[in-house]
């Protein structure tokens, strides 16, 4: 999956989407989602890398627990044959927002 493929897929959620971060001059109001590339998985043999698989982290930001939106993300990934792990959920007391992470 390419960056463009993932971006186009995530746009179907109808919330703001950005790679890694949003512009500093924009005050983003949750919910929104940022995605970033992680260390790729490589298939190697005979001291050569034959293929690299992109790995991404999705970070959903919400003001309160939004189970429906989380399920929509999970359905979108599942319906598009994208394996995922929901890796973490963090409450940011200072900003009063949740960060929910998916690894794909």
Taking only the tens place, the pLDDT of each residue in 10-54 is 999 999 999 999 987 678 899 999 999 987 677 778 888 777 777
Quote the pLDDT of residue 25. 63
CATH class of 3-103: alpha beta
Q: For the chain, which residues make up each domain, given as ranges?
A: 3-103
Burial zone of 16 (CB within 10 Å; 0-12 exposed, 13-18 middle, 19+ buried): middle
């Amino acid at each position: 999956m390419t960056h463009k493929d993932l971006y186009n897929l995530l746009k179907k959620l109808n919330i703001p989407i950005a790679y890694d971060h949003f512009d500093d001059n924009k005050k983003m109001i949750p919910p929104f989602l940022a995605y970033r590339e992680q260390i790729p998985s490589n298939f190697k043999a005979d001291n050569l890398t034959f293929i690299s698989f992109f790995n991404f982290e999705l970070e959903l930001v919400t003001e309160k627990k939004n189970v429906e939106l989380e399920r929509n993300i999970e359905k979108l990934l599942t319906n598009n044959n994208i394996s995922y792990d929901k890796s973490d959920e963090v409450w940011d007391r200072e900003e009063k927002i949740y960060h929910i992470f998916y690894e794909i």
